[in-house]
Amino acid sequence: EAGVTQFPSHSVIEKGQTVTLRCDPISGHDNLYWYRRVMGKEIKFLLHFVKESKQDESGMPNNRFLAERTGGTYSTLKVQPAELEDSGVYFCASSQGTSGRTGQYFGPGTRLTVT
Amino acid sequence: GENVEQHPSTLSVQEGDSAVIKCTYSDSASNYFPWYKQELGKRPQLIIDIRSNVGEKKDQRIAVTLNKTAKHFSLHITETQPEDSAVYFCAAIRTNNDMRFGAGTRLTVKP
């Protein structure tokens, strides 16, 4: 079974540019999450999809971040325009359960550097 | 919202010794507590979890304990090995499936 995949693995962009990150969850997993880890700090929740619907987007830092999951399969996270403080590793995770009491499987992450 | 605190931030032990990492959470509605291990440059991997209806769970050299009254839970690694070196994250999750992580503990096991 393929795990969670993310693309790209690394992205270096200039302040003000746009970047789109992609996540492909494990097939059949309805729940998809985005997290961000800034160097040396905790993994911070951004948002949660259940199929194509946003269940909780309380962690999104501001309106420069837009997440979509059309069709309930893969998801994209767009940052526009990027700022220096957006640098970090963006993780995607997916899970199968609906009760909230199951493990989440992480992708390898996308390391975003904004210069 | 949920707030998870994790201590210590760094931990260095000699190979063969035990390591203990502690976490506290604020939301009494949290009922699932996974632990993740992240090796350098790799993705976080679920290593063990515990649900609120049990107080302790063990898997070979790894054990987790949960005290719901005090709202804290701990990861115990016995007979540590160099390959246990990594960053460990605790997390707490409520029934709406949103997980909040601790800040991580960088464990170094010296051979």
* Segment B25-69, tens digit of pLDDT: 998 888 899 999 999 888 999 999 998 888 999 999 999 999 999
Residue of chain B whose Cα is closest to the Cα of A101: B32
**pLDDT confidence bin for B100, thresholds 50/70/90:** confident
Average pLDDT over residues A41-69: 91
Of A43-47, A94-98, B81-85, which gets the smallest average pLDDT? A94-98
Average pLDDT over residues A2-6: 91
Measured in angstroms, the CA of A87 and the nearest CA of chain B are apart by 16
Q: A98 vs B97: CB contact, 8 Å cut-off?
A: yes
With a cut of 60, say whether residue B91 has pLDDT above it. yes
What is the spatial distance between Cα A27 and Cα B73, in angstroms, rounded to a whole number? Answer: 32
From chain A, pick out residues whose CB is under 8 angstroms from the CB of B89: 42-43
Number of A:B CB contacts under 8 A?
67
Task: Write a three-state SS string for chain A.
Answer: CCCCEEECCEEEECCCCCEEEEEECCCCCCEEEEEEECCCCCEEEEEEEECCEEEECCCCCCCCEEEECHHHCCEEEEECCCCHHHCEEEEEEEECCCCCCCCCEECCCEEEEEC
- Please, where are the H alpha helices in chain B? none
With a cut of 90, say whether residue A64 has pLDDT above it. yes
Please indicate if any CB of chain A lies within 8 Å of the CB of B36. yes
Q: B101 vs A45: CB contact, 8 Å cut-off?
A: yes
Segment (H or E) for B57: strand B56-59
What is the spatial distance between Cα A93 and Cα A112, in angstroms, rounded to a whole number? Answer: 17
Residue of chain A whose Cα is closest to the Cα of B34: A103
What pLDDT, on the 0 to 100 scale, is given for residue B108? 97
